[in-house]
Amino acid sequence: MADNNTSSNSLSENPSPNGNSASENESEVSIDVLARKVHESLSMARRNKFWETQPVGQFKDLGDTSLPEGPIESPTPLSDVKQEPFNLPNLYEWITCDMDSEEMCTEVYNLLSNNYVEDDDNMFRFNYSKEFLLWALCPPGYYRSWHIGVRVKSSKKLVAFITGVPARIRVRDTVVNMAEINFLCVHKKLRSKRLAPVMIKEVTRRVHLENIWQAAYTAGVVLPTPISTCQYWHRSLNPKKLIDVGFSRLGPRMTMSRTIKLYKLPDQTATPGFRKMEPHDVPAVTRLLKNYLKQFLVAPDFDENDVEHLLLTRENVVDSYLVESPETHEITDFCSFYTLPSSILGNQNYSTLKAAYSYYNVSTKTPLLQLMNDALIVAKQKDYDVFNALDVMQNESFLKELKFGPGDGKLHYYLYNYRINHVLRPSELGLVLL
């Protein structure tokens, strides 16, 4: 159901957002670049061979409006679902990962922090904290059996991982019980062993055992067939560090001091009644969010339990703020971001890039531009280096104005066993997957 093991290209900023670097790049084509392109095309062919056997939108069907929207394959009787795990190569064995165990959580953290998503230039690698993993993988109603690991039989070393969590996702007017598939990771030394397809089949089997037949996932690579393709944008909060570590570059005719001045933010937020979300705000935030998400063609169907788990502030995991009218005490606006640092590889001065990722934002009385500027201010106060946002929902309306720059890659959204007849614009998508 997922292929998240390849870079989503969202870890660094595009040094040439105006796209003027084509002529420079043409002169840089080398044997290495050609070799990489050949490798990528071969691995894409292998990936597609697998995905062509799966109930997903196929490239050949693009634009065929005669195909019905909705499930591609009907559910089978649960008694017909394979009861035994799929076979792994002899040296390996399946385990179910108990994320409540400190030892297991540490093993998963170590695997991901050393082997998960890197940028194309191998300068940055996602470094999900253990607290983040617990938050992301244990939402209300989660299934421990969907947290799947692969060990080496002899050494018991954890070498691969894939997860699912349950979610209710509305597609147009239909709320569908789905699995959100994430954290597909195979140890770098085992990438040639073709473990990923069998892991995808195994998580699919376990999801089916719970009578769930659809899934949502994202990947930085093109598979059959994205329902939408989104762009990451990056807003510098600590421009000197970002330039020093190679995340972004000094613009043409720009000095460091002018760059620092360009990205400087006010010391205090501007919106009266802007404050941190508290537990007693859960019902009001749920109502605000449910009403807002109605306008998107694909969006989560959150209830109060979801909002309490996903959006109440957890230190260094997720931060949520709202606007409470000083006059009426009505909750009118909401913004949130989650914390996903990246390890900085091979830099003597810095080891971690602290990044905030825009999550769900709702503007009814406060202009979205002002609300998000306040979010940038509190992120800066909390020592984040960069604030990232996808161009989903209404985010496009503030990106350029608030000095975000486009990233150097795309994030593709997919649905498993569910067909949508046209590719969605990012602004039609109301879903952020962690």
Angle at which helix 282-293 crosses helix 304-311, to 10 degrees, equals: 100
The total number of residues written for the chain in this structure? 434
Catalytically annotated residue among 11, 112, 133, 434: 434
Known active-site residue 424: no
- DSSP line for 58-88: -GGGTT-TTSPSB-SSPPPPGGGS--SPPPP
253: Cβ–Cβ under 8 A, 6 or more apart, which residues? none
Distance CA(90)–CA(82), nearest Å, equals 20
Task: Report d(CA 42, CA 44) in Å as an integer.
Answer: 5
Contact yes or no for 148/96 (Cβ under 8 A): yes
Crossing angle for the helix pair 130-137 and 102-115, to the nearest 10 degrees? 100
3 state DSSP class of 321 = strand
In 3D, which of 230, 232, 219 has the Cα closest to residue 14? Answer: 232
DSSP string, 265-304: --SS--STTEEE--GGGHHHHHHHHHHHHTTSSEEE---H
Which residues are the active-site residues? 434
